[in-house]
Amino acid sequence: MPVNPTVRLIATLSNLVRRKIDSLDCIAGLTPAQNGILHFILSRHKERDLFQKDVEEEFNLRRPTATEILKLMEKRGLIYREEASHDARCKKIIATEKGAGMEEQVLRDILEMEHLVTRGIPQRELEAFIATGMKMINNLM
Protein backbone atom coordinates (compact mmCIF):
# COMPACT_ATOMS: atom_id res chain seq x y z
CA MET A 1 0.00 0.00 0.00
CA PRO A 2 1.60 3.34 -1.03
CA VAL A 3 2.22 5.86 1.71
CA ASN A 4 0.42 9.18 1.24
CA PRO A 5 3.14 11.85 1.37
CA THR A 6 0.83 14.70 2.53
CA VAL A 7 1.86 14.72 6.19
CA ARG A 8 5.54 14.22 5.32
CA LEU A 9 5.37 17.06 2.79
CA ILE A 10 3.75 19.39 5.35
CA ALA A 11 6.36 18.45 7.98
CA THR A 12 9.21 19.05 5.52
CA LEU A 13 7.78 22.41 4.45
CA SER A 14 7.31 23.41 8.09
CA ASN A 15 10.91 22.49 8.96
CA LEU A 16 12.32 24.35 5.96
CA VAL A 17 10.26 27.47 6.68
CA ARG A 18 11.29 27.41 10.34
CA ARG A 19 14.97 27.02 9.44
CA LYS A 20 14.78 29.83 6.89
CA ILE A 21 13.04 32.14 9.35
CA ASP A 22 15.64 31.31 11.99
CA SER A 23 18.44 32.13 9.52
CA LEU A 24 17.03 35.56 8.65
CA ASP A 25 18.26 38.54 10.59
CA CYS A 26 15.15 39.33 12.59
CA ILE A 27 15.12 42.78 14.08
CA ALA A 28 16.34 43.45 17.60
CA GLY A 29 16.73 39.76 18.34
CA LEU A 30 13.02 39.01 18.09
CA THR A 31 12.10 35.37 17.69
CA PRO A 32 9.92 34.51 14.70
CA ALA A 33 6.97 34.02 17.08
CA GLN A 34 7.53 37.45 18.67
CA ASN A 35 7.84 39.00 15.22
CA GLY A 36 4.52 37.51 14.12
CA ILE A 37 2.73 38.38 17.36
CA LEU A 38 4.03 41.95 17.33
CA HIS A 39 2.78 42.33 13.75
CA PHE A 40 -0.62 40.95 14.80
CA ILE A 41 -0.83 43.39 17.72
CA LEU A 42 0.26 46.38 15.64
CA SER A 43 -2.09 45.59 12.76
CA ARG A 44 -5.17 44.84 14.86
CA HIS A 45 -5.01 47.13 17.90
CA LYS A 46 -6.70 50.00 16.05
CA GLU A 47 -9.73 47.83 15.27
CA ARG A 48 -10.37 46.63 18.82
CA ASP A 49 -8.79 45.76 22.15
CA LEU A 50 -6.56 42.69 22.02
CA PHE A 51 -6.19 40.12 24.76
CA GLN A 52 -4.05 37.03 25.29
CA LYS A 53 -6.96 34.86 24.15
CA ASP A 54 -6.84 36.63 20.75
CA VAL A 55 -3.14 35.77 20.40
CA GLU A 56 -3.82 32.16 21.41
CA GLU A 57 -6.55 31.82 18.80
CA GLU A 58 -4.73 33.63 15.98
CA PHE A 59 -1.55 31.56 16.34
CA ASN A 60 -3.15 28.37 17.68
CA LEU A 61 -1.06 28.56 20.85
CA ARG A 62 -1.78 26.94 24.18
CA ARG A 63 -2.21 29.32 27.09
CA PRO A 64 1.18 28.57 28.76
CA THR A 65 3.03 29.11 25.48
CA ALA A 66 1.26 32.41 24.79
CA THR A 67 1.87 33.51 28.39
CA GLU A 68 5.62 32.89 28.10
CA ILE A 69 5.96 34.67 24.75
CA LEU A 70 3.96 37.69 25.95
CA LYS A 71 5.87 37.87 29.25
CA LEU A 72 9.15 37.95 27.34
CA MET A 73 7.81 40.62 24.99
CA GLU A 74 6.74 42.64 28.02
CA LYS A 75 10.17 42.18 29.61
CA ARG A 76 11.82 43.41 26.39
CA GLY A 77 9.64 46.51 26.43
CA LEU A 78 7.69 45.67 23.26
CA ILE A 79 4.25 45.49 24.87
CA TYR A 80 2.50 46.23 28.11
CA ARG A 81 -0.76 45.02 29.57
CA GLU A 82 -3.41 47.06 31.28
CA GLU A 83 -6.71 46.16 32.90
CA ALA A 84 -9.72 46.10 30.63
CA SER A 85 -12.48 48.46 31.65
CA HIS A 86 -15.08 45.70 31.50
CA ASP A 87 -13.15 43.13 33.59
CA ALA A 88 -10.12 43.70 35.81
CA ARG A 89 -9.06 40.07 35.27
CA CYS A 90 -8.63 40.70 31.54
CA LYS A 91 -5.50 42.51 30.43
CA LYS A 92 -5.40 44.41 27.15
CA ILE A 93 -2.21 43.95 25.16
CA ILE A 94 -0.79 47.22 23.89
CA ALA A 95 2.39 47.87 21.91
CA THR A 96 4.86 50.21 23.56
CA GLU A 97 6.54 53.02 21.68
CA LYS A 98 9.52 50.72 21.19
CA GLY A 99 7.29 47.95 19.79
CA ALA A 100 5.38 50.36 17.55
CA GLY A 101 8.69 51.71 16.24
CA MET A 102 9.48 48.27 14.84
CA GLU A 103 6.33 48.07 12.71
CA GLU A 104 7.97 48.72 9.32
CA GLN A 105 10.81 46.26 9.87
CA VAL A 106 8.49 43.58 11.25
CA LEU A 107 6.29 43.87 8.17
CA ARG A 108 9.35 43.85 5.89
CA ASP A 109 10.58 40.60 7.53
CA ILE A 110 7.17 38.95 7.07
CA LEU A 111 6.87 40.07 3.43
CA GLU A 112 10.42 38.88 2.69
CA MET A 113 9.63 35.41 3.99
CA GLU A 114 6.31 35.35 2.12
CA HIS A 115 8.15 36.25 -1.10
CA LEU A 116 10.77 33.53 -0.58
CA VAL A 117 8.13 30.86 0.00
CA THR A 118 5.78 31.84 -2.83
CA ARG A 119 8.33 32.84 -5.49
CA GLY A 120 7.46 31.43 -8.92
CA ILE A 121 4.06 30.05 -7.88
CA PRO A 122 1.04 31.36 -9.81
CA GLN A 123 -1.65 33.16 -7.79
CA ARG A 124 -4.28 30.55 -8.64
CA GLU A 125 -2.08 27.76 -7.23
CA LEU A 126 -1.40 29.79 -4.08
CA GLU A 127 -5.12 30.34 -3.56
CA ALA A 128 -5.78 26.61 -3.98
CA PHE A 129 -2.96 25.79 -1.54
CA ILE A 130 -4.32 28.21 1.05
CA ALA A 131 -7.87 26.86 0.70
CA THR A 132 -6.62 23.28 1.03
CA GLY A 133 -4.40 24.16 3.99
CA MET A 134 -7.33 25.80 5.78
CA LYS A 135 -9.41 22.65 5.26
CA MET A 136 -6.60 20.55 6.72
CA ILE A 137 -6.36 22.85 9.74
CA ASN A 138 -10.12 22.56 10.26
CA ASN A 139 -9.85 18.76 10.02
CA LEU A 140 -7.37 18.80 12.91
CA MET A 141 -9.19 21.26 15.15
Q: What is the CATH number of the domain that holds 59?
A: 1.10.10.10
Domain total in the chain? 1
How do the residues of the chain divide into helix, strand and coil, expressed in percent and rounded to 5? Answer: 65, 10, 25
| Domain membership of residue 108 as a residue range | 10-117
Mean pLDDT of the 63-83 span? 93
Which has more pLDDT, 140 or 86? 140
In terms of average pLDDT, the best of 25-34, 40-49, 71-80 is 71-80
Distance CA 65, CA 105 (A): 24
Residue 16 within a domain: yes
Tens of pLDDT along 5-44? 888 888 888 888 888 877 766 656 778 788 889 999 998 8
Q: Which of 65, 57, 27 is nearest to 40 (CA)?
A: 57
